[in-house]
Amino acid sequence: MRRRIPAAHWGLLTALLIALFVALGLQSISQGVGQARTATTGTARVERVHGGGTVLFNADGHLDSRDLPDRTVALTFDDGPDPRWTAKVLDVLAREHVPATFFVVGARASQHPELVRRELREGHELGNHTWSHSDLSGAAAWRRNLELSLGQLGLAGSAHVSSALLRPPYSSTPAALDSHQVHVLKQETDAGYVIVLADRDTEDWQRPGVPRILAGGTPVDDKGHIVLMHDAGGNRAQTVAALPALIERYRAAGFRFTTVSEGLGLHGGVNPSVGTVRRLQGEFLGQAVRFSSALVTLISWVIFPLGLLSVLRTLLVVVLARRHVRVSAQRVEGPPWSPPVSVLVPAYNEAVGIEQALRSLAASDHPNLEIVVIDDGSTDGTGDIVESLGLPNVRLVRQENGGKAAALRRGTAEASHDILVMLDGDTVFETTTVRLLVQPLKDPKIGAVSGNTKVGNRRGLLGRWQHLEYVSGFNLDRRLLDLLRCITTVPGACGAFRREAVVAAGGLSSDTLAEDTDITMGILRAGYEVVHEERARAWTEAPSSSNDLWKQRYRWGYGTLQCMWKHRHAVVEKGPGRRLGLVGLPYMVFFQVILPLAAPVIDVFAIHGLLSGSAGTVALIWLAFAGVQVLTAGYALRLDRESLTPLWSLPLQQLFYRQLIYLVVIQSVVSVLAGAQLPWHKLHRSGDVAVPV
C-alpha cells in the first residue's frame, strides 16, 4: 500500500525546488557580459588613473583614461527609461538630429522595453547603469557582480543587445573619485567594461532651474566634453526645457555631437546583439518585472486602505484608553460590593502550576469565596495535588476528560453561588483580583467582566514579545471595545460572569475551540453588557517555545473563526445584542482575519522595494511603523504601570513574531475552509509564573 505524502511535505518540497531554481538562475545570470570575475579580498592596493580623461578602460592591466576629441560633445542621460520624460528627451534629440548615449537602469528597461528599443532605433547607444541604481563603491563584490549582470539582462530582454559601456550610479567627474572608488572601477574595467564618467555635470537631478542647468553643461574650452544629464529619477521638466538651448550653445561654439563610442573610435560597436539564450533570459526577467510591478500597484491599492484603517484604529485606541480609565473608575464608585463568589478552575494535567494558582486564590481578600476545581481526567496527579493541599473552601470535582467547556459546565452546575469567576489552572491571581473583578457586576445590566491578563513568564525574548502583545494589543483593544460596548472575548484566564447571563447565552458550549469567545458573544446576543476591568490582574503562563505558541494561536484562530460563523446571524439581528453584529463581528473580521491575511503582502511589498532600488523608502516606512509601535506600546505599559524596559525588543518582533502570528491565521483560515477537524492542543507547562510584588 502506497503512503500519501502529507500536504505540508509537498509544500516543503516545492519550496526547495523553487529555491534551487532561483539559485541556478542567479548563478547563470551572474556571469555578466560573458566574462568571469573573481572577487578580491583583503586590503585593496591604491589604483591610479593614467591619462586624466573622462573615459576609463583597461590598458595592459592598468587603469587608463581618454577624452573625446576636441570640439566634440557626447550628451549622456542617466536613470531611464521613464515613460514621461525619456520620450520627451528623445523627441528633442530627434528634432535637433543629435545622437546621445543613454545609461539605462536594468529594472526600468525591463518595465519599459519600447523606450529602450526606440533609443536604439533612433541612432542612440545604450550603457549599463546597474539593475537597481545601486552604489557600486559601497557594495560587496558579489552585489556589484549581480547588479551589473542583471543590468545586462535588462538590456538583453528589452532591446536584445548588451553593452560594453558602464556608468556607475552616483558618479560624476574623475576628480571626484577616491582611491577605493578607483579600485572598484579597475575591477570593472578588468571585466571588459569601458567606464564613462563626465566632465560637465548639469546637476539637473537637483532641479536647480534651467539657467543653472545650462551653466553646468555649457562648454568652457575647446576640449571634448561628456555632459551628464538625467531622463528619469524624478521630474525632468527642467532638463527637457534646457536641452534645446544647450544643444544650440554647443553648435554655436563649433562642437560636433557624437555618441561616446563614436567619439572614442571604438570599432565593432558597444551594443552587440545577444544570443538566443540571453535574449530569452532577459525577456523572461522582463515579464517577471512587469508582472511584479503590476502586482505591486494592485497591492498598494489594497495596502493603503488597510494601513489607513490600522493607523486610525491605533489613534482611536490611544486617545480613548485614558477615557476608559475614567469610565472604569466611575463604574465601581460607591461602597465595595461583596457578593458570594464561586471560582471555577478547570484543570487537565496542571500538576506543575495548580498549587500556585490555588494558593493565590486562597489568599484573596474577597470574603465568602468558594473554589471549585474540576479535574478533567488528568493523568499527572493534578487532583491528588489539590486534595493534598488541604486548602479551606477548595472543593475538588473529578470527571472523565471531556474538554475545557465540559469542565466549566460541570463547575457551573456544582457552584453554590450566582457570581462565577473562571480562570485557567496555570493562572495566578493577585490578592485583590477577585474583589476588583466582580465589582462591575453590581450593575444588573452587566453579564460578564474581562480581567487584565498578563504574561507571568516574560524573561525570554518570546515571553517579552507576548507580554508586549498582551499589554499593547489585547488589553488596549478591550479598553476600546469596552467603550464601544462590544467586547467579544472574556479571556479564559480571568473572567467573571453572572450565572443568569451564562444560562441565557446557552451555557458553556463545546461547539468551538474558543469557548471563552463563544460564551462572550452569546452573552452579548442575550442582551447583557460585557466590560473590562484593567485593575483585576491575572498572571498566566504564556507558551515558552515557538512550537507551543503556534499550537496555542492556531487553536485561538481556528476557534475564533468557528465563533464568528456560529454567531454570524448577529449581523441581521435586532434588539439589545445587535452591537455584536454591527461593531464586534466586523471589527473581528477586519483586524483578526483580513489584516493578518494581508500581512504577507506587506512583507512581499517590502522585499520588492529592497530589490528594486527603494531600500531607503522601505527603511523609512519600517522605522516609522516601528516608532508608532514603540510609542503605542510605551503608552500601554504606562497605563498598566509596567516597566518600559521590554520596549527594546519590540522592533525585533517584526522580524519573526509578526510573521509567525499571521502564518498561524492563514493556516487557521485554510483549515476552516477545508473543513479540517482540529483537536485541542495541550501545551507544555513549566510553572514559571512570577507575580511582581
What are the catalytic residues? 78, 230
Per DSSP, 649 falls in state G
Bridge partners for 446 per DSSP: 529
**Residue 233 to residues 236, 510, 619, Cα–Cα distance (Å):** 8, 60, 19
The closest alpha carbon to 692, from 464, 456, 466, belongs to 456
Per DSSP, 161 falls in state B
**Residue 348 to residues 243, 405, 672, 683, Cα–Cα distance (Å):** 80, 12, 26, 11
Residue 447 in grid coordinates: 453579564
Bridge partners for 450 per DSSP: 495, 532
Distance in angstroms (rounded) separating the CA atoms of residues 331 and 80 = 65
Phi-psi region of 123 (alpha: psi -120 to 50; beta: other; left: phi over 0): left
Bridge partners for 166 per DSSP: 128, 195
Pairing of β 529-540 and β 200-201:
unpaired
Pairing of β 495-498 and β 446-455:
antiparallel
Residue 308 in grid coordinates: 489607513
Residue 271 in grid coordinates: 551594443
Complete edge-to-edge strand list for the sheet that includes strand 369-376: 394-399, 369-376, 341-347, 419-422, 495-498, 446-455, 529-540, 428-429
Bridge partners for 416 per DSSP: none
Query: 548: exposed, middle or buried (C-beta count within 10 Å: 0-12, 13-18, 19+)?
Result: middle
Bridge partners for 531 per DSSP: 449
Pairing of β 419-422 and β 495-498:
antiparallel
- Residue 25 near residue 159, CB atoms below 8 Å: no
State the Cα angle at 341 between 339 and 347, rounded to 5°. 170
DSSP codes of every residue in 163-188? -SEE--TT---GGG--HHHHHHHHHH
Please state the three-class secondary structure of 544-561 as a single string. CCHHHHHHHHHHHHHHHH
Q: Tell how far CA 428 is from the center of its chain.
A: 35
Local structure of 53: helix, strand or coil = coil
**Phi, psi torsion values for 143, nearest 5 degrees:** -70, -40
**65 CB-near residues (< 8 Å, 6+ apart):** 49, 50, 51, 52, 53, 54, 55, 56, 57, 174
Omega of the bond leading into 81 within 30 degrees of 0 (cis) = yes
Query: 106: exposed, middle or buried (C-beta count within 10 Å: 0-12, 13-18, 19+)?
Result: buried
